[in-house]
Amino acid sequence: MAIETQPEQARGSGGGAPAGGARPRPWWMRPAIHTAVLGAVVGYLAGSFLGSYLTGTGAGLYPNVVLSDSKDWPIVLGYAFAIVGWLAGLGVFNDVFRQMIGRPLNGASTQEAETQGGLAKYFRYELDHKVVGVQYLVGMIIYFCTAGLFAMAIRTELLSPVNHVFSSQVYIELVGEHGTMMMMLMSSVIVGPFGNYLVPLMIGSKRVAFPRIEALSFWLTPCAFLILLSSLLVGGFPFGWTGYAPLSIQSTIGADSYAMAFGLMGVSMILAGFNIIATVICYRAPGMRWSRLPIFVWSMIATSFLFVLAAPVLVGGMYMLLMDRTAQTAFFEDSLGGSSYLYENLFWFFGHPEVYILALPGFGIVMEILPVMCRKPLFAYKVACAGMIGVTLLSFFVWQHHLFDSGINPDMRPLFMLTTELISIPTGFIYLVALGTLWKAKIRFTVPMLFCLGMLFNFLIGGISGVFLSDVPADVTEHGSFFVMAHFHYTIMGGLIFAFMGGVYYWLPKMTGIKLNNRLGLWHFWLMFVAFNFTFLPLFAVGMAGQPRRVFEYAVNLQPLNDWVSISSFFLGGSILIFVINFVWSTVIVRDREVGNPWKSRGLEWQIASPPPPGNFEHVPVVLSAPYDYGVKDAQPVADLNPPAGVITAAITGSAPVGAEA
């Protein structure tokens, strides 16, 4: 595999000071987020004008129609040009054009660039994986809170079955925005911030394999976020987050925003996954055998393979949907020879691996934190690795259980019911590894540990309820009800978001050198844990009583339960507000520095300063032992951070060093 090289000179972000001692450009001329917004606006106007011209929709001024007369061309081309303008404004293409014309690259070396720019570097296209990780972290918190506000609006509407705050049209728009934003943007909620930031540190590398691809994967996400929000300005989309055809084909132009944003996020996932896979395979430090990889890195590898194999199907499905809406193709139109079942299969071939894209990183965080807080080795490390590999493989054989109630060939139902049941076996392996690590442990009930325990509790309820939905008779009864929604939130929000919060409290001292306030963290956990269960546990009963999803009117006798759920959800939102206050208070206002290794972890990432120095490691470390030898007599240090220069480590690795620098 060819890996992008990064010479010591001329390898910066493209946004720093010019080489050769020339006077730096003023801030408003440097590529950053403000120039990206300007480029996006200019690009949208140009694309929209071109679309109107080519389709003859410009008020009758253009009689020669080149493309179809679809009203969607102006907005689709506007979004396409806006994406290009956004990336151009960030300076993504600067180095490409400079190399094409034979000119040297701008900027200093990566290590020099890491010490320059201050806060401004987080608003630019930067090549340092640590900057990208922090950008992802802040971005994901913003996306999550925005989607949470839509959820608050949904539960406000459901306070009464007869007195409405929103119209039925606005309500379904809110449902679609909430679901799509959570499932689309939250797919990278752990891989983005923690995968990009920590994987190179955990494997002893000074960088990722492809810094430009890594930076690009992030800067596509705010673009997708803004495109998705813009759909509210043109009527939204009334088909939820799944976008089923033919409704999505016949819908308003808000469906174009949905397809463009979802497809763009799919591209981001592909790039992020490819980069992490290449980094782990090619950039491991000497001695970092596969059997010594931290379990979090294993979860990142598994998730990255899901990104690379499943997301292209999503991107293709969104492209075909746009073609049906603009060029009058007939991929998904039954009346024209297409098949709406084709869309469902394409979507869920991505959509069910997506569930494990969200679940596996959560388990990776939990199993990384448990040994540290239990002060004992990770129980059955190899079983956990095998479980992640098994989930990754089987996740591609279960997608049609989402189609049990669709009328598709019933002869396929037993096969997909079987595979859905089988995937619970490797998932159970992972869960039992976590329980085995807790067994007879001297647990430190820190805030990160509490979130890990909360994740295990919530995921158990989600897993038990999932057994019902994997069986055809029960699924036919419960399909489309709030029972499904409760199950899904227990496995995803109860699993992924609780693990994400645990990861933030655990690794933020490493990423920023700042530890979040412990008292606010305890308030955050307990309010979030109680409010979450008070919100979603009653929804199982509501669903069994027959209340359908995505409908804002329901039986009057279900109002007490719905009121309980809505009020609980407001407390759940309040717990997230406590987290945001804690995050801003600790990192921006108080900035209480936490140096060193506050958790006494053996992880390689904790053996260097916090935050990590430029280049991560002064020398490429030599890994000596596994990272979980807590309480093991005469255990070796996890690594030698200052190996003698020129020493060949073949005795440790059995081969030449992988990814090591001279």
Which residues have CB under 8 Å from 587's CB, separation 6+?
508, 512, 514, 516
Cα–Cα distance between 197 and 61 in angstroms, integer?
53
What span, in angstroms and rounded, lies between the C-alpha atoms of 613 and 115?
9
Partnered with residue 548 across adjacent β-strands are 481
pLDDT at residue 1, as a whole number: 40
pLDDT at 656: 42
pLDDT of residue 30: 79
Q: Looking at domain 126-590, what is its CATH homologous superfamily?
A: Cytochrome c oxidase-like, subunit I domain (1.20.210.10)
Q: Which pLDDT score is estimated for 155?
A: 95
Q: What is the pLDDT of residue 57?
A: 55
pLDDT for position 648: 40
Predicted local distance difference test score (pLDDT) of residue 406: 85
Query: What is the pLDDT at residue 540?
Result: 95
Q: Which residues pair with 40 in a beta bridge?
A: none
Domain residue ranges of the chain, discontinuous segments joined by +: 32-90, 126-590
Query: Which parts of the chain sit beneath pLDDT 50?
Result: 1-17, 19-21, 59-65, 108-112, 648-662
d(CA 224, CA 421): 35
What pLDDT sits at residue 334?
86
Do 484 and 543 meet the contact criterion of CB atoms below 8 Å apart? yes
- DSSP-derived secondary structure letter, 378: P
Tokens 């090591």 found at: 660
* pTM: predicted TM-score of the whole model, two decimal places: 0.91
pLDDT in tens, 367-412: 999 999 999 999 999 999 999 999 999 999 999 899 888 888 888 8
The Cα–Cα gap between 478 and 481 comes to 6
Question: Do 228 and 142 contact (CB within 8 A), yes or no?
Answer: no
pLDDT of residue 305: 96
Note the pLDDT of residue 569.
96
